[in-house]
Amino acid sequence: MDYNSYPKTRAEAMFIGAKYYFTGIPCKYGHVALRKTKGSCLDCLKIEWSKGYETRKDYFQNYNKTKGVEVKKRYYAANREKVIEKATARAVEDKRKYRQAWKSKNPVEVKAFTNNRRRRHKDATPKWLSKEHQIEIRNIYRKAAEMCKDAPKAYAVDHIVPLLGKEVCGLHVPWNLQILTAEDNYRKTNKLLDSPANP
C-alpha cells in the first residue's frame, strides 16, 4: 500500500478533513499502520473487532460505555472552554431536537435525573417557606419558560448559591433564584461566582 498520499500527522488530517493518516511510527502496541483521525491505528481496531463484536457499531457502543467515557472526561477537562463554546454555538432548534432524541432513547436516565432533581429541590426547600414564596418560585420558572419561546437564546433558572456547591449549599427559595442564559448557566455549573475562590 502506498502511504505517501496520506497526511503525516493527526493535526494535518484534521485540518484537511482526512479520515486517516500515516506517521510511519509504531503505535504503543507496535503496529505500523494507518491511523484513524478519530480513533486508533487500524491494526488495533481489527484486533478489537475480532473479539466477538458482530458489527463495528457493537464495538463502538461498547467503547462509548467503557473507555470512551474516560476519554471524553479527559478531553473535556483539557478543553472545557472549547467544548462549551462549540455547544453554545449550535442553533436553539438543533439543541432542542438533540435533547428530545436523547430523552426518547434514554427514558430510564431521564426519569432518574428528574427524580434526583426534584428530591434535591425538595431537600433544599425550607419548611417555613410560605405559599406566597412558593408561588413566587413558580412564577420565576414560568417567566424563564416564556422567555425561551421567542428568544434566539435559551434561558434557565439558576440557584445563585448552588444547592450542591463545593463551598456552601444554598436553599431553594425565591431570593436565591435568578434567570440566566443557558450558556451562562452552563459555564457557572455549581460555582458560587461572587465568592473569593471564584471571582
Q: Which residues contact 156 (CB under 8 A, 6 or more apart)?
A: 144, 179, 180, 181, 182, 185
- State pLDDT tens for residues 97-122: 888 888 888 888 888 888 888 888 88
- 67-78 vs 56-65: helix crossing angle, rounded to 10: 60
Distance of CA 107 to the CA centre of its chain: 18
Residue with cell 435568578: 178
pLDDT score for 168: 80
pLDDT band at 141 (very low <50, low <70, confident <90, very high): very high
What the block records as the C-alpha cell of 4 is: 505517501
Q: How many Cα atoms sit within 13 Å of 68 on the Cβ side?
A: 9
- State pLDDT tens for residues 38-63: 878 888 888 877 776 666 667 667 77
